[in-house]
Chains A and B, each alone.
Chain A
Amino acid sequence: MSRIQSTFATLKQQGKTALIPYITAGDPHPKHTVDLLHTLVENGADMIELGVPFSDPMADGPVIQRASERALMHKVGLTAVLEMVKTFRLTNQSTPIILMGYANPIEAIGPKAFADRAKDADVDGVITVDYPPEECGEFVQELRSRDIDPIFLLSPTTEPKRVDLIVSQASGFVYYVSLKGVTGAANLDIVEVSARVAAIRKKTSLPVGVGFGIRDAATAKATAAIADAVVVGSRMVQVIEASTDDNLLDNVATLMTELKTAVDAATKSI
């Protein structure tokens, strides 16, 4: 069983929803990233989505675009990100790390070599925004043969037939993008999301995570009631952006505590 799968299994026994914060590796500065990862775990992260900076983040709103730009100013690319995960793993072997990013950095290394290096760094899952299942069969095989979970996004526009195709390729969990739009847009409609998540559950026994548009305790709590995992990205990055070197870890800890309390307080309706 992969680390992601066992984390979900444990949480399920406890009747809990996973909290998955997102940060962009190298933001605000590469020297902070490993400390940030540990701070997230100490304050309730069940898994972490670690963004791989990219020059052209087409699916991201301004907040995460700026995070990418800050990281790229310090030349943080995929190779550097894998080194950060290795350093994190020196003292944490239990929290799943999911890389999230775009296809081209992986293409630049090559799918097979990337899978080797991700395995070597002890990465647990990979989300590649612009690799739909039709275009990444070989990549999925490379990941799965190394017990790394390929995680796919489902969107409000995904037709039922495609849900079948996507869940047949995915492992670990599937990630429902709760709105039509880029990351950071703030118009999550919880009624609609519930209906979609319920429809996805009819087609797969994989855990369903929900992300995009979860910005505060209230939306985190509402989402936690219907999902197996709640992903918080832009809000986390906003707090990082507004912090100084001195209060960065404290500010992130405060937001995490608020979100964790909200997620744990949700009454599960599943």
Chain B
Amino acid sequence: MQLYDMPDARGHFGQFGGTFVAETLVEALDELRMMYEKYRHDPVFLAEFAHDLKHFVGRPSPVYHAKRWSDKVGGAQIYLKREDLNHTGAHKINNTVGQALLAKRMGKPRVIAETGAGQHGVATATIAARMGLECVVYMGSEDIKRQAPNVFRMKLLGATVVPVESGSKTLKDALNEAMRDWVTNVHNTFYIIGTVAGPHPYPMMVRDFQAVIGVEAKIQMQEMVGRQPDAVVACVGGGSNAMGIFYPYIDVPNVRLIGVEAAGHGLETGMHAAPLTTNSPVGVLHGNRTYLMQDVDGNIIETHSVSAGLDYPGVGPEHAWLKDIKRAEYVGITDDEAMAAFHGLCRTEGIIPALESSHALAHAEKMAKTMRKDEIILVNLSGRGDKDINTVAKLANITL
């Protein structure tokens, strides 16, 4: 069997990916690509990365058999990869540790980031504080409202949070603004992109840093149940937690890989953030070619999701590729379905999941019901829900 080996040297996954950026950034991306090539297999770099993941992030994160929830759902056994237990509360920190180590080696004193839910912003602010780097985080003003606790955390950590008022005032606009900052300050600034999107080498590099999730899970599943799961389920915003857990499984036969996009108010309403599930046209945004929610003129259309971290009109190019080659499947879960799963997990397992992760949980619940009791679903529980309490309180009419 030919092993999976993507992307090509210029960051293409078939027709997807690439480096679609303004000329001013080409040089910076070349430099980053060369530095990453130099360090990605360097034992000293990898040892430092592993050390920080263990002692600062708290890895490995456990795999947990959600037995009560599985029984209640009735069907397959659901296991959770507990990225919510990481320092700062989500998988995002894995990637920021890796990129910050590179920024240090490249001598860049300033890091910038975009953030939607604020988890990537917090993770970047955290690692910047630890390494003594200046940190600026761009965040849509709409997201600042719905993720206030994370804004406060970033400020405590010494980061400057810049509200973005353009466009839809959400994640994609924060990315635009971070790109504008980078173009202007490229000499001293490292842009820590928070997902498997952006120009090459970001989709590959972020995947590699997040792959620790799947690498650990494979070992843990073997130890716990003596085999690999029948299906791996993860939510997809840009797609980093999903790529992180999928990647080590791509060459493992008979493991279904399922990415869960935000179906918002429902796929048929157009108010969603599910470019793969709805077969959106292919286009170019934020440095790569991928499936994109857009109108006939090629303008990006507004997305909707209850979870800020999934509210993105595109998707990492490797997911576009995995969809086309049919190695992964992509489905949508609505706001309401995600909320129901959120409450379900809270009450049966004592775990408050992030709204993003709740999309994966909701789909696992649907699947489990159609499967046998001895079958296994592994869900990437990408983050914890502390940041979402205000949103949930509002939706569920709970007074705090």
Interface of A with B (CB < 8 Å)? 53-59, 61-62, 65, 69, 72, 75, 77-79, 102-109, 129-132, 134-135, 152-159, 162, 166, 177, 180-182, 185
Tell me if B1 counts as interface (CB < 8 A to partner A).
no
The 8 Å CB contact of B176, one of A56, A78, A135, A162, is A56
Q: Are A103 and B20 within 8 A (Cβ)? A: yes
CB neighbours (8 Å) of B295 from chain A are 77
Q: How far is the CB of A61 from chain B (nearest CB, A)?
A: 7
The 8 Å CB contact of A108, one of B23, B289, B298, is B298
A108-B281, A132-B23 known; A58-B184 Cβ under 8 A: no
Tell me if B18 counts as interface (CB < 8 A to partner A).
yes
Q: How far is the CB of A240 from chain B (nearest CB, A)?
A: 19
A78-B298, A108-B294, A157-B26 known; A132-B285 Cβ under 8 A: no
The 8 Å CB contact of B297, one of A57, A108, A155, A177, is A108
Known interface pairs A53-B299, A105-B299; 11 further A-B residue pairs with C-beta atoms within 8 A, sorted by A's residue number: A57-B176, A102-B284, A103-B284, A104-B283, A130-B287, A132-B23, A134-B19, A135-B20, A152-B23, A159-B30, A182-B184
Q: Are B283 and A61 within 8 A (Cβ)? A: no
The 8 Å CB contact of B24, one of A54, A109, A180, is A180
Tell me if B54 counts as interface (CB < 8 A to partner A).
no
Q: How far is the CA of A83 from the CA of B279 in the complex (A)?
A: 30
Give chain A's interface secondary structure class: loop
CB neighbours (8 Å) of A109 from chain B are 298
Chain A's closest residue to B180 (CB) is: A182
CB neighbours (8 Å) of B166 from chain A are 62, 65, 69
Q: How far is the CA of A75 from the CA of B167 in the complex (A)?
A: 15
Would you give the 0/1 interface string for B74-97, flagging 1 where the beta carbon is closer than 8 Å to chain A?
000000000000000000000000
Q: How far is the CA of A65 from the CA of B177 in the complex (A)?
A: 11
CB neighbours (8 Å) of B179 from chain A are 58-59
Chain B's closest residue to A65 (CB) is: B166
Q: How far is the CB of B374 from chain A (nearest CB, A)?
A: 47
CB neighbours (8 Å) of B167 from chain A are 55-56
Q: Are A107 and B283 within 8 A (Cβ)? A: yes
Chain B's closest residue to A55 (CB) is: B299
Q: Are A132 and B24 within 8 A (Cβ)? A: no
Q: How far is the CA of A166 from the CA of B22 in the complex (A)?
A: 13
Q: How far is the CB of A49 from chain B (nearest CB, A)?
A: 16
Q: How far is the CA of A53 from the CA of B28 in the complex (A)?
A: 27
CB neighbours (8 Å) of B298 from chain A are 54, 77-78, 104-109
Tell me if B300 counts as interface (CB < 8 A to partner A).
yes
Q: Are A56 and B285 within 8 A (Cβ)? A: yes
Would you give the 0/1 interface string for B313-349, flagging 1 where the beta carbon is closer than 8 Å to chain A?
0000000000000000000000000000000000000
CB neighbours (8 Å) of A59 from chain B are 22, 24, 179-180, 183
Return the 10 tightest CB-CB contacts between A and B, nearest first: A77-B297, A108-B298, A105-B298, A55-B299, A181-B184, A155-B24, A103-B284, A157-B27, A104-B298, A59-B22
Tell me if B286 counts as interface (CB < 8 A to partner A).
yes
CB neighbours (8 Å) of A157 from chain B are 23-28, 186
Chain A's closest residue to B165 (CB) is: A62
The contact sample of 19 A-B pairs, CB cut-off 8 A, is A56-B176, A59-B180, A59-B183, A65-B166, A72-B299, A104-B283, A106-B298, A107-B284, A108-B297, A130-B22, A130-B287, A132-B20, A157-B26, A157-B186, A162-B26, A162-B27, A177-B24, A180-B183, A180-B184
CB neighbours (8 Å) of A155 from chain B are 22-24, 27
CB neighbours (8 Å) of B296 from chain A are 77, 79, 108
Q: How far is the CB of B11 from chain A (nearest CB, A)?
A: 10
Chain A's closest residue to B26 (CB) is: A132
